[in-house]
Amino acid sequence: MPTFDSILRIVALALDQLEVAVCVFDNRGRTVLWNETFLQFFPEHAGHVYAGEDYRENLRRFYLQRLPQDELPSMERYIEEGVQRHHSQQRAFEFDHHGYRVRVASLSFGAFGRVRLWRKTTPLLTGMQDRINPKLTPLPGRILPDTAMALESLADGILMVDEKDGTLWANHSFLRLYGLSDIKDLGARRFDEIYAAAWQHEEPTAGYTTGLSVLKERQRFSGAPYVLALPRNRWVRIVELRGTQANGTSFFSHVDITTQWRQQEELKQLSLHLESLAVKDALTGLLNRRRFDEVLEAEWRRAHHSEMVLSLLMLDVDHFKHLNDTHGHPFGDEVLKRFATVLAGRIQRTDSLVARYGGEEFAVLLPGTALADAAQLAELIRQQVETMSLGNEQTGLVRITISIGVACASDLAFNASSSMLVDMADRALYEAKRKGRNQVACS
């Protein structure tokens, strides 16, 4: 029975006979196979592409032979955007390549990965051919009245261009989007010139700067939908409908998506806020127990694979119940918030984690930190808290102390569960309290 790989190879050979280029990638973006037509379309890959190669390297070769010198500094950004297109593409688009317009489609194989297909559509005509033989690609002087009437009834903006991307006609919806009072204002400008003119008397924004870059890139990858920022916080989505007219003209559809865009941004901010609430403790602003458990498990596995040590501090406010009972819960909350501030200020390493473990108990996870260093850090924290006093007119000054348990796992310990490290630190914390509190104990 043929395997999945052997079926793909048979299909790739069949596509060679149809002059369709194909390249298959796994679900991690690594090259699996390609056919001879792929190398004919993209000769820069011949002798260089190999099974297992990251798609980014494929794109890097592609851009190195296409980009002018002044655009090379932007190549890494183009590559990352190309990777995003590769993973999210849902419809075919076209671009000009080696004298031909090429149409490319990208299809997902689910868990197996993704396949990209290319076929040539039409040869690119030179400007000289256009002038010498206008019958070959007639230049439309105007749009048919019936077509214009139909397009004028649309709420979306429609722009008609010639094969050189020079403007021929636009409906009133397009004119309103870009602040044009009359169709005569179009002239024979390209759309990127119209877009820049729309911003001429406006304060440039980051969205406008990004829009210019997008337009410059879309000159190479026409057909893929894209979004541009307009003045006064408006947004438009553009789809290029190329190759639909026998006379060489094409249409650009411009859809005002301002409302949807703002709603998406609001939903994105709300999602980020909810995500933050899900992993943060509301009182102290530190990460919560749920997030601590997730990170502990991940760091436990990482330490095991990289043969690193992993230390944990379990910290507890001494006599916290007495503080609450004597001075009230608002005072107890203030103690926890001040203690959290001390911890967050003291633990500055980006790979460390500070969390409220529960009640008056806190946890500090220290990847790559040996027991002696973790114990030294714990003592510094204990000393800093010991010098901290809280109070008001009703409570007077109240001395705050903490107890800390320190544990460290390494070598064979990682064969056990990550909960072992918590148990070790808990036992050390209990020992610190048994010995009189306000001290550090090591497991």
Maximum average pLDDT range among 61-70, 120-129, 417-426: 417-426
Do residues 165 and 174 lie in contact, with contact meaning Cβ atoms separated by under 8 Å? no
Q: What is the pLDDT of residue 216?
A: 81
Those residues whose C-beta lies under 8 Å from the C-beta of residue 4, and which sit 6 or more positions away, are 112
State yes or no: pLDDT of 355 exceeds 80. Answer: yes
- Residue 270's pLDDT is what? 81
Cα 35 to Cα 40: distance, rounded to the nearest angstrom: 9
Q: Which of 82-91, 119-128, 178-187, 317-326 has the lowest mean pLDDT?
A: 119-128
According to the model, what pLDDT value does residue 314 have? 97
Pick the catalytic residue from 163, 217, 240, 360: 360
Whole-number Å distance between alpha carbons of 221 and 138: 24
CB atoms within 10 A of CB 75: 15
Highest mean pLDDT among 133-137, 143-147, 195-199, 265-269: 195-199
Is the per-residue pLDDT at 182 higher than 60?
yes
What is the per-residue pLDDT for 53? 93
**pLDDT of 1 strictly over 80:** no
Q: What distance in Å separates the CA atoms of residue 193 and residue 208, rounded to the nearest whole number?
A: 13
- 360 belongs to the catalytic site: yes
DSSP for 199-243 reads TTTS---HHHHHHHHHHHHHTTSTTS-EEEEETTTEEEEEEEE-S
For the domain made up of 280-442, the CATH class stated in words is alpha beta
Q: What mean pLDDT comes out for the span 301-306?
A: 86
Among 103-107, 221-225, 308-312, 351-355, the minimum mean pLDDT is found in 221-225
Give the pLDDT confidence score for residue 317 in this predicted structure: 95
- Please check the confidence at residue 39 and state whether its pLDDT lies above 50: yes
Per-residue CA distances from 232 to 178, 198, 203, 229, 238 (Å): 11, 11, 10, 9, 18
141 contact partners, CB below 8 Å, separation of at least 6: none
Confidence tier at 421 by pLDDT (50, 70, 90)? very high
Helix (H, G, I), strand (E, B) or coil at 343: helix
Q: What is the 3-state secondary structure (H, E, C) of 249-302?
A: CEEEEEEECHHHHHHHHHHHHHHHHHHHHHHECCCCCCECHHHHHHHHHHHHHH
**Contact assessment for residue 32 and residue 26, using Cβ atoms and an 8 Å cutoff:** yes
Is pLDDT above 80 for 122?
A: no
Nearest to 381 by CA among 314, 321, 330: 314
Dump pLDDT digits (tens) for 57-67.
999 998 888 88
pLDDT of residue 87: 82
Q: Which residues in 31-64 are b (16+ Cβ under 10 Å) and which e?
A: bbbbbebbbebbebbeeebeeebebebbbbebbe
72, 278, 342 from 61: Cα distances, Å:
12, 43, 51
2 or 284, which is more confident? 284
- pTM for this prediction: 0.46
Q: Is it the case that residue 130 has pLDDT exceeding 70?
A: no
91-106 residue pLDDT tens: 777 777 777 778 888 8
Do residues 161 and 191 touch, judged by C-beta distance below 8 A?
Answer: yes
Beta bridge partners of 286: none
Quick check: do 4-124 and 132-262 share a fold?
Answer: yes
pLDDT of residue 74: 87
pLDDT at 125: 42
Question: Contact, 121 vs 101, CB < 8 A?
Answer: yes
Q: Taking the domain 4-124, which CATH number applies?
A: 3.30.450
Q: Does 136 have pLDDT greater than 50? A: no
Q: What is the reported pLDDT for 135?
A: 36
Banded model confidence at residue 318, pLDDT cuts 50, 70, 90: very high
pLDDT at 129 over 60: no
> In this structure, how many other beta carbons lie within 10 angstroms of the beta carbon of residue 91?
10
Q: What is the mean pLDDT of residues 114-123?
A: 84
289-306 helix and 258-279 helix, angle to the nearest 10 degrees: 80
Mean pLDDT of the chain: 85
| Helix, strand, coil percentages in the chain from 3-state DSSP, rounded to 5 | 45, 25, 30
In angstroms, the CA 407 to CA 429 distance is 9
Q: What's residue 213's pLDDT?
A: 87
Q: In the structure encoding, which two tokens stand for residue 384, read together?
A: 């800093």
Q: Which helix (H) or strand (E) holds 103?
A: strand 100-108
Q: What is the mean pLDDT of residues 333-347?
A: 93
Confidence class for position 138, pLDDT limits 50, 70, 90: very low
DSSP state of 416: S
What residue segments make up the domains of the chain, in order of their start?
4-124, 132-262, 280-442
Which CATH number is associated with domain 132-262? 3.30.450.20
How confident is the model over 16-30, as pLDDT tens digits?
888 899 999 998 899
Is the predicted pLDDT of residue 142 greater than 60, yes or no?
A: no
Residue 244, pLDDT score:
61
